[in-house]
Amino acid sequence: MPKLSRRNFFKGAAALAAMPLVADEIETKQPDTLKLVHITDAHMDLGNPESVEALEMAVTYLNTYYKDLDCVLFGGDNFNNNMKADSDALVYKQITEKLHCPIYHVRGNKESSPANDDRIHLDEFKKLFMSYKELITEGKDWAVEINGHIVLGLDSCIENANNGTYTKETLTFAKKMLDLGKPTLILNHHPYTNYWGGTEANDIHKYVLGNAEETIKILFEYPNLLVTLSGHKHIDNIKMIHKVKTITTRGFIRPLDLDEYPMRYIEIEKNEVSEKLIYTADA
């Protein structure tokens, strides 16, 4: 890859295996602080060198300026899944694994809608990105405990479609994890509301989680669900649903201007969630 010019540079634990299975067995100690960064819709594409450089820039930036992160969460449409076999997935994996902290991934519609059989499908995604030994996995979903907090990676994708929904199995898995009573964060791709005020039915169908109303009724009443992180629409938003801070982070590959690629820094301390957008250009 060619060296970036100065202008282009700016352009651009405990494992859950030991977790108790019923809520009344949970330890009552005060959870520690959780510090993380959410990156969504990176759309890394080997046919677009700038998108690769931007992701490399984000890794360098976080390794330099956010050295105390507990994890980085990638929220889907991480790579465009349009190259032969798994070549783009492997480059994406190689770049992100240079981060100094654990990294976790969920799929977006790009990863779940390959152009043809040469691109990766769910089984390949699970092998590449859900095989970390600390993860508890059920079907296409996962969970991990970090500093007394549970991070839930829920796959909201429908195979070969842009729209999304939570399956019965996903909701059951989420409830089981929430029943443990520990402070919990959900990472997925499709947002829960029409927060941008869309008026076209096809647009809403494509971008809003298909069974959002059911999901909110089932999951968002849990007092230990603190925050959700989504993407897909590329438009930034924070909305309170019941007492859950529901965050949709601006698409990484859709900068505010040519010098900025956005990510969201999140800190949870004593069940209080603080956040801010950060940019590669902040360096």
Which tops the pLDDT comparison, 212 or 13?
Answer: 212
Tell me which of 267 and 14 has the higher pLDDT: 267
Cβ neighbours around 200 below 10 Å, total: 8
Task: Supply the pLDDT for residue 116.
Answer: 62
> Could you give the residue ranges of the DSSP H alpha helices within the chain?
6-11, 49-65, 87-96, 109-112, 122-129, 168-178, 201-207, 212-219
Q: What is the mean pLDDT of residues 187-211?
A: 97
pLDDT per position as a tens digit, 113-135: 876 666 888 999 999 999 999 99
pTM for the whole structure: 0.88
DSSP 247-258: EEPPPTTS-SST
Sheet bearing 237-241, strands edge to edge: 136-138, 141-146, 149-153, 184-187, 225-230, 244-248, 237-241
Q: Which domains does the chain have, with CATH numbers?
A: 31-282 (3.60.21.10)
The per-residue pLDDT for 281 is: 77
- Residue 10 pLDDT more than 50? no
C-alpha distances in Å from residue 207, one per residue of 116, 199, 217: 23, 12, 19
Provide mean pLDDT across the span 71-76: 98
Q: What is the mean pLDDT of residues 35-39?
A: 98
* 263 bridge partner residues: 278
- What was the pLDDT predicted at 113? 84
The confidence score (pLDDT) of residue 114 equals 72
pLDDT band, very low/low/confident/very high, at 83 (cuts 50, 70, 90)? confident
Distances from the Cα of 145 to the Cαs of 21, 62, 72, 78, 180, in angstroms?
13, 22, 14, 23, 11
Q: What is the structure's pLDDT at 115?
A: 66
Contact 215, 192 (CB under 8 A): yes
**Considering the chain, what is the average pLDDT of its residues?**
88
Tens-digit pLDDT profile for residues 218-254: 999 999 999 999 999 999 999 999 999 999 999 999 7
| Residue 248: Cβ-neighbour burial (10 angstroms; 0-12, 13-18, 19+) | buried
Q: Is 181 a residue whose pLDDT tops 60? A: yes
Type of residue at 156: S
Of the pLDDT bands very low, low, confident and very high (cuts 50, 70, 90), residue 283 is low
Q: Residue 29: pLDDT above 60?
A: no
